[in-house]
Amino acid sequence: MSRRVAYVNARLLDPASGLDAVGALLVEGGRIADVGPDLFRDGVPEGIERVDCEGACLAPGLVDLRVQLREPGEEHKETIDTASRAAAAGGVTAMACLPNTDPPVDDVAVVEFIARRAREVKLVKVFAYGSVTRGLRGEQLTEIGLLKEAGAVGFTDGLKAVADARVMRRALAYARGLGALIIQHPEEPSLARNGAMNEGELSMRLGLTGIPPAAEAIMLERDMRLVALTGARYHAAHVSTAEGIEVIRAAKQRGLPVTCDTAPHYFALNEQAVDGYRTFAKVSPPLRSEDDRLAVVEAIADGTIDAIASDHAPHDQESKRLPLAQAEPGIVGLETLLPLSLELYHEGRIGILDLLAKLTCRPADLLALPLGRLAKGAAADLVLFDLEKSWQIEVERLRSKSKNTLFDRRHVRGEVVRTIVDGRTVYCREA
């Protein structure tokens, strides 16, 4: 018989159905056999393992749209194993990895390699993006159809924008015919070249080349015209500016098939974090002004921003402990995705179900994955978390191989208690 586990005394949170009630959930054979407020009201029958959630929140596991795994090629920074352990500790049960590995994910063999390594690690679910262009060079399209057939869940050139309009138009046209999603790093490269931070008063004072907010909006405005021309699905990654958000908002109002995400550092921090030449605050796109930060918060609340992704970008000390202009961009984020996102709820900016939707069912839908739901028959990918638990992020406790976080010693509320993938507990908080 399949092992059966009952999670009782839980606050069930399912953004897809709107469920928010105290109840129970039954797992059998790696799937959700039953769920609801009336389940096991008269007690759990014999033969079923009982887990008392003690009032903690039980929700679908997080689906992270944007993760850099570094394997193959830069295993000294991160591996599928270490990233999976970090994801499990953060309540992430599925993640999509960028193609900027070495070799890049521009060939079926690399997609199959990542899938095989994830099966060997057997912790969280790992999906791969295929690159839009060969070698991430922005010139020749990859075999989008073959990559999709091999399991690629979307197509992006990662940290590089597809800058050539003709190439992007062809990519969108092919993607539409195949039902594929194109994900763009929305930054006009010539405006962003050699940029180390946001362009403004602070960059001038620090003597650093800045990246203007217009670099994001210009690329998005061009791409919206190409989307209108082709009718293809288009997703803008980690939007960071008020100008860019307005372009996306207008495109949605026109009915274009456009979506977008952001990352916690774009609503939890602003460009002032760079002051003092702090290389851990160098990210791509850069941290923006306070007005831009508030625009991101507003866009999350009003639904313009569809999803929140960790934008996990692990780097070793040698890549970060350099002059700011030479340092690699990016911070780790898998283990801080949930508590930093919950700040928006605790500040009264957004309801808990609306917030969780951007971390679970909405990203799953964007990638056409049957995940992110508390429903009978769905995969038992779950996160149990204490919504009110206060704690402090400590870099030395991060499970990621790299420790480049901006949030060391930050006080947060909301802690992962247990993470379950296909019915298996892959993380349990230390008592």
Q: Tell me: the pLDDT tens digits for 144-177? A: 999 999 999 999 999 999 999 999 999 999 999 9
Q: Are 118 and 126 in contact (CB under 8 A)?
A: yes
- Give the pTM: 0.97
The catalytic residues are 311
The per-residue pLDDT for 238 is 98
* CB-neighbour burial class of residue 136 (10 A; exposed 0-12, middle 13-18, buried 19+): buried
How far is Cα 383 from Cα 40, in angstroms, rounded to an integer?
A: 20
Overall average pLDDT of the 88-117 stretch: 98
What CATH code is assigned to 61-366? 3.20.20.140
Lowest model confidence (mean pLDDT) among 1-15, 164-178, 226-240, 283-297: 1-15
What CATH code is assigned to 4-58+379-428? 2.30.40.10
Sign, CA torsion 391/397/401/402: positive
Sign, CA torsion 137/239/358/419: positive
Strand bridging mode 4-14 / 57-60: parallel
The per-residue pLDDT for 166 is 98
Domain ranges of the chain: 4-58+379-428, 61-366
Q: How confident is the model at residue 431 (pLDDT cuts 50, 70, 90)?
A: low
Checking if the pLDDT of 235 tops 80, the result is: yes
> Is the previous residue joined to 285 through a cis bond, with omega within 30 degrees of 0?
yes
Rg (CA), the chain: 21
Q: Measuring CA to CA, which residue among 64, 70, 117 is closest to residue 93? A: 64
**Coil, helix or strand at residue 227:** helix
